[in-house]
Amino acid sequence: MYWCGKEIACGWEGHRVLWDYFLKLARAAKLRRPITPRDFDLNADARSLTNWKSRLLEIDELFEKIGDFITSKHGEHRLELPPEQIRIFHHVPGEGLREVRY
C-alpha cells in the first residue's frame, strides 16, 4: 500500500481486519459512498468501525495523515478523497499488477 508515493509496509498479515476495513473504505470511496457495519459480518456495529479506524491510525505514521480523510457520521465511515485520486490494484499470477476498475 502506498500513500502519496510512500509505501506503508506494516505487515498486513497480522492486521487482517484492519486491511479489510481500509480496503472496503477505499473501494467505497471509488464509488463515492461510505461503508457501514453491514459491509462486514453480522457481529460488526458502529463501534467496530470506530475501533478499526483507531487501530489503523496507530499502525504507521502515514496512516495518521490518512486519518484526516476518514470521516464518520451516523455509524458510517467515509474516505473523503475524489475517486480519481484512489487507485486499487490486485495481483494476477503470471501477469503482475492490474488496476481494479469500478
Confidence band (pLDDT; 50, 70, 90) for 85? Answer: very high
Could you give the percent of the chain with pLDDT greater than 70?
A: 99
Confidence band (pLDDT; 50, 70, 90) for 4? Answer: confident
Q: Is the pLDDT of residue 7 over 80?
A: no
Cell of 77: 465511515
Phi, psi of 24 (to 5 degrees): -65, -35
Q: Whose CA is closest to 26, among 90, 96, 75?
A: 90
Amino acid at site 88: I
Q: Which of 14 and 93 is assigned the larger pLDDT?
A: 93
Confidence band (pLDDT; 50, 70, 90) for 73? Answer: very high
